[in-house]
Structure 1
Amino acid sequence: MRIQYVLQEIGHGLRRNLTMVIAVIVSTAVALTMLGAGLLMLEQTKAMQGYWYGKVEVAVYMCNTNDVGHATNCTSVITAAESAAIYTKLHGTPYVENIIPESQAQAYQHYEQAYGSTALGQTATEQDMEQNFRVKLSDPSKFQVVQDSVGNMVGVASVVDEQQLLQPLFTFIHIAEYSAAGVAAVMLVLAFLLIFNTVRLSAFSRRRETGIMRLVGASNFYIQMPFLLEGAVAGLLGGALASGVLIAIKAFFIDGIVAPHLSSIQFIGWRPFVFIVPLLLVVGIMMSVAASVFTLRKYLRV
């Protein structure tokens, strides 16, 4: 009978405050969606860093005719002896895992593949290209080791860390993460206040019943249980709605629209959802129950 009574009271409470309950569910869903989006962005950043840092190389460009008189170490076009000396020095440099020489002809071929149909591709010649070494590091963050090793050698025009080219992208993603976390925090506070107000209204509308229950000796826990479960149901539905939104965005927008057109980006799979979805459900329930407990303790003291 007690369980049946509690379930009946939950149903009555949800129907009496339907508008406020819907507002709680929606606000909780928005807050948890932003929280989930922030966590997914964090996973995406890790995936992209792991993917791109595995492909990052250091490029050691050597002097061509255009560099003579302009680059510090370029008094003449690179010679075979100077190139061999640079290669030998790179080979003995710590963290260097692999060295791939690229001639002017090969560099020009790659340039044409990238820019052949543009104005830049039509004006450049093979002599404009720089012979270079593509250096693969065991630790991509150790660019400075290569710079210190060969940066001042005769025949070296420049040493370029390709990791720095990707840094603006990762900076943007980190900003998006923090923005999502900030919005999520604000929305969680608003959802908490909505739950607080909803439970207070529900308790006020049933003050006669709760008063009678206190007179006949019902415990505070038994009186509070319907209100707590109402909040838990609203929080659970908000978490479920947020999870559904994130799953839909992943399935239809990311995988269906974005990923086919951005094959160069390594997008996260479904593995992060295994822990993010349960986390959102738990946070939704716990936040709602906490707000309900706080409200009811204050109410029962009156």
Structure 2
Amino acid sequence: MRAQFVLSEIGVGLRRNLTMTFAVIVSVGLSLALFGGSLLMSDQVNQMKGYWYDKVNVSIFLCNKSDAESDPNCAKGAVTTEQKNQIKADLGKMPVVDKVAYESQDQAYKHYKEQFGDSPLASSLTPDQMQESYRIKLKDPEKYQVIASAFNGRAGVQSVQDQKGILDNLFTLLGYLNWAARGVMFVMLVVALLLIVNTVRVSAFSRRRETGIMRLVGASGFYIQAPFIMEAAVAGLIGGTIACSFLVLGQYFVIDNGVALSQKLQLINFVGWDAVLTKLPLILAASFLMPALAAFFALRKYLKV
């Protein structure tokens, strides 16, 4: 009987404050969708780091004849065979080095033509203008400075470049975007909580006569508060379900099918369904508990029981 009464009061409360309930559902849904999206973005960045950091190389570019005339780092002239052999030997002795690959001027020219063949500059380049280089795979990509300090400024070396630095800039940008999304999410959560508190206040005020009678007949505080708390929790749960739907639909229509980014951007290793599905219970739990707790504390102040 008591459960039936609580359920009936929940239905009455939701219908009585339909507009505010709708606002709560929308704000909770959008804020938790952003919350889930930010969690997935963090997973995506971490997955991309693991994928790309494993593939990045450190490149030691060697001086050619053109560099000897124009680059201060190559003031001692183009690299000699002896210098190249010494660089390779030194790399082989370094414990941080996993693999070393040599790229000749002809190979560099071929790779450039493959990647930038349509560029106007490509037609004016010749193989002797390209730089020889050593492509180094490190056991730990974080150890770039070991290579840089050992070879920067050495005779025959034009520069030492770390591809990880380029990726770091990309991941930093993605990190900023993720924090921006979390900032918007936080603002929307605050708005949702304020709406929940206000909705509970209005609902409690509109039913003050009923709650007064219930107090007079000896109803417990929890029994009086339960319908209001459950109203907020149900509205939040509906919003959480909407948020979960956004994530599932986004994964299906944006990543896997429809836009199909996973097929169009094959260089990016997108997070899969396992990452999405693990976020759904967390979102549903938050959508239920957050409004319920907000309503509970609001009732302590606005509903004297």
Unaligned runs of 5+ in 2: none
TM-score, structure 2 normalization: 0.95
For the pair 1:189 / 2:173, whether they are aligned, the reply is no
For the pair 1:108 / 2:109, whether they are aligned, the reply is yes
**RMSD, aligned α-carbons:** 1.3
CA–CA separation in structure 2 for the residues paired with 1:122 and 1:168: 31
8 Å contact from structure 2 (residues 28, 239) kept in 1: yes
Equivalent residue pairs, number: 302
CA positional deviation for 1:74: 4.6
CA positional deviation for 1:153: 2.2
**Over residues 147-173 of structure 1, what are the superposed CA-to-partner deviations in whole Å (9 max), with x where a residue is unaligned?**
112223221111111111122211110
For the pair 1:250 / 2:251, whether they are aligned, the reply is yes
CA positional deviation for 1:273: 1.8
Q: Find the counterpart in structure 1 of residue 293 from structure 2.
A: 290
8 Å contact from structure 2 (residues 67, 74) kept in 1: no
Q: Find the counterpart in structure 2 of residue 268 from structure 1.
A: 271
Q: Supply the AA of the counterpart residue of 2:14.
A: L
Q: Find the counterpart in structure 1 of residue 64 from structure 2.
A: 64
8 Å contact from structure 2 (residues 204, 303) kept in 1: no
8 Å contact from structure 2 (residues 74, 157) kept in 1: yes
Task: Give 3-state SS (helix, strand or coil) of 2:100's partner.
Answer: strand
TM-score, structure 1 normalization: 0.96
**Over residues 28-66 of structure 1, what are the superposed CA-to-partner deviations in whole Å (9 max), with x where a residue is unaligned?**
111111111111111111011111101110001111111
CA–CA separation in structure 1 for the residues paired with 2:175 and 2:303: 45
Q: Find the counterpart in structure 2 of residue 28 from structure 1.
A: 28
Q: Supply the AA of the counterpart residue of 1:242.
A: A
CA–CA separation in structure 1 for the residues paired with 2:73 and 2:283: 57
8 Å contact from structure 2 (residues 56, 163) kept in 1: yes
Aligned ranges 1:1-302 → 2 under 5 Å: 1-69=1-69, 70-256=71-257, 257=259, 258-301=261-304
CA positional deviation for 1:73: 4.0
CA–CA separation in structure 1 for the residues paired with 2:20 and 2:78: 77
Higher deviation after alignment, 69-78 or 54-63: 69-78
Task: Give 3-state SS (helix, strand or coil) of 1:157's partner.
Answer: strand
Unaligned runs of 5+ in 1: none
- Report sequence identity in percent: 47
CA–CA separation in structure 2 for the residues paired with 1:52 and 1:44: 12
Q: Supply the AA of the counterpart residue of 2:206.
A: S
Task: Give 3-state SS (helix, strand or coil) of 1:208's partner.
Answer: helix
CA positional deviation for 1:75: 2.1
**Over residues 60-106 of structure 1, what are the superposed CA-to-partner deviations in whole Å (9 max), with x where a residue is unaligned?**
11111111132424522222211110000111123111001111111
Q: Supply the AA of the counterpart residue of 2:42.
A: L
**Over residues 274-296 of structure 1, what are the superposed CA-to-partner deviations in whole Å (9 max), with x where a residue is unaligned?**
33111111111111011111121
Higher deviation after alignment, 248-257 or 82-91: 248-257
8 Å contact from structure 1 (residues 74, 157) kept in 2: no
8 Å contact from structure 1 (residues 73, 153) kept in 2: no
Runs of 4+ in 1 over 6 A off after TM superposition: none
